[in-house]
Structure 1
Amino acid sequence: MILKGSQRANGADLATHLMNICDNERVEIAALHGVVADDLHGAFAEFEAIASGTKAKEPLYSLSINPSAPLTRQQYEEAIADIEDRLGLAGQPRATVFHIKDGREHCHVIWSRIDAEKMRAIHMAHDHRRLCDLSCELAHKFGLDLPPGLQAWEKKQRFKKERLEPTLAENAQAKKTGIPPEQRRAEITAAYNQSDSAEAFRAALAQKRYILAKGDRRGLVVVDRYGDVHSLTRYVKDHSAKGIRQKLSALKSDDLPDVEQARALTRDLAQQQGKGAGEGAGDKAEETRRRVEEVRRQALARAQEARRLASAQHEQEILTRQASERLALHAAQESEKRGFLFRVRSAVADLIERTPALRSVLGPLQKLTHLDPRERHTLEKDALRRRHAREKLEIARRKRSLAAAEKREQESLTEALARLARRQGEEQARLRQDFTEAGRDQKLWRARVFDEGDVTQEFNARSGAAGGDQDDGDDDVRQPQWKKRTEGLQRRPGSRRGPRR
């Protein structure tokens, strides 16, 4: 079991991210504790509203629970309870969301860090260590396997990570480009190991479509083909930063481009490659890409339509209930108005209002006790109207939340389809390059250099040889077949077609 937690803000963006049905096969809001709202946007808005009375800049604590094997909901609840006690978040308002992604179920739990009674944020000290200890304890409790890193943590040993632990920014870049950080690390490390000098390393990076640049805050950085900037020392495996600086000490900062210049170079190269890929794209691959794009868009549209239908049904139920409540209240008040007691109390209230002496003595008592039934009817109508207005505001807020979620899902789908098209273009370019290199190595083709006029002579000779040479009234003059056909069209009587230009 792997537990990852972090403090954060911007609850609206987090709620939209958790509701994204494009990146997740299934989204389930399992529980909302300590809040009035019954959706994520409303719950996180309540968290932030309470936090506005404090100085806390990150009022939310977000935790993801990724077990190595499926767990039951009861086991998830036990794990959440243990985590709350260990982190000091017991009794705090929280939201629990389950996702199914790539066939695996995982859980997200978001707490409010604000103690409403003391109006201060709960201090989350050493939460990473506590979560590592809890991961080991819960794995043994539920009979789950521990990954190598947690095994070393449990034995209090130094663990040498074979894989790069991606940050949130790196995960976002991988989602955008389709290149995982581990693949980028392997490519940069291979270029570093196979080079024996600074210039050789720079050339090896260029061959892999990376540009070595000088960073603003760091010494040397690497800019990939998509313009993203990466730390060089982080992506060179099994080499210290000191050793890397010594090996690349021959490079002068003036000889290296800065980040903006490197990004401009990558944009130019991407445009050139895009043109080449577009010219050589196959019809079959393009048709497959369009078919996949249409299928994914239709699947997302069906899921969104089902969610909109459920929201519309919920809205219609609320509006129908409000109409029935208004009719019921109106019927009850009209029935009460026809009663004898209502007429007597109304007459007494009018008498008190008309008589100054009675009004001065009984007026305050009448307002406090609502002896006038007509005033009570007005208060009941106002209370019902205010409650219905709040429910309509809640419906409007739900619509805005749903619109934000759909916008994020469309953006995710567009990014996914762009990644798919980019990968296909790169794969076709790579296959063409491999085919060209294989043909050159096996000497299946050779480049020919034509002088001025040789292309025309070659074309005339081949066209004449293909169609056969014919005499046109002169044995000494021979014309190629394509030229004779053109002249024949010009001489044809009644032909509306002019000569070719």
Structure 2
Amino acid sequence: MVIRGNSRGNGSQLARYLTTQGDNEAIHLLEVDGNTHATAKQLHDTLLSMSLMAELTKSAKGLYHAQINPAYGEDKAMTDTNWQQAVDILAKELGFGGQRRAIVLHEKKGRTHAHVVWERYDYQTGKIIDTPFNYLAHDRARQAMERVFTQQQTPVKNNRQPELKEQLTEYWNNTVTATEFIKAVEQAGYLLAAGIAKRPFMVVDDHGRSFDLVRQLKGINTKAVRERLGNIGLMPEKKAIAQIRERQQAHAKDKATSSPQKPKNRDLSVLAHEFTNNKKSMLAGEKKKETIKEYTETRETIIQKQEQTPTGTVADKKMAATKDFAENKTQTLSREDRKQALINDMRQQLRDYQRPQSRDQGISIGE
């Protein structure tokens, strides 16, 4: 499907164009400002009044004229209701919902397309409705129409098309029979298909996009292709596209199954949290070990002082050792900014050191 459109003026000239037979095989006034049985004069008067409303503003273009062109063959399935629905879709994307409009169907060379004209003047705001980036609105409407009416998706620009042309031309020149050519094309991941009307031979690439085969063959005309492939029964274009897409889905499924699963974000956060906790525990453990080492060295110093004391009873020695230990401990805590708990009982601490207990924060040396 192709949609084109732009702002314009001169409603009288546009009305004459839409109602002139010319190359058209048939003209059908589908709707004129809500009237489904309008005449050519009513169309003329309506478009003239629409364009004249622009004189209330600074704009000279009071109309928006668009064309809706379905692909060959798909226009036959469009009913009057479908055409009106298509116009509604385009109006929504362009911002013309609720505006006065006229719909005229032209049949030319066996294919029907629609002309639609909207009034740009907004009676509520007293301003002209602007349509910036209208080509993007056309594309959004085209996608919606193809989805609603289950029509073939219009191929997007393919940056690999030059490569496709080179490959297909090489396959054509290096083969003689239709079977050889078809086999070479299929081995490259493509499929040949039967088109319609002026494009009888199509090629579908590995992304499910279809192209006119003749246009992909450099220096080869339709007659030469017809002579080689004319007697070969090719599958319909839609069936070939469906096969390619099924192949893509199967390949993606196999790839997902065979590829190792990467950790999810949640798993990574859990691992990071556990690593942080473990690191904190290790640091706490190292700090406790340093404290125990310092405690042991202090204890050895006190014992040495006890052994060097020449006089005094055992009780005096114990009291002196306890006093020395407390003084030394206070100095140590001052250096550690009082981060460690006070050690109240030297003998109890020694027993704890001999049977350390493991906890989440490291090794505990006190109750």
Larger radius of gyration: 2
More strand by share: 2
Say whether the fold is shared (TM-score over 0.5): no
TM-score, normalization by structure 1: 0.30
TM-score, normalization by structure 2: 0.40
More helix by share: 1
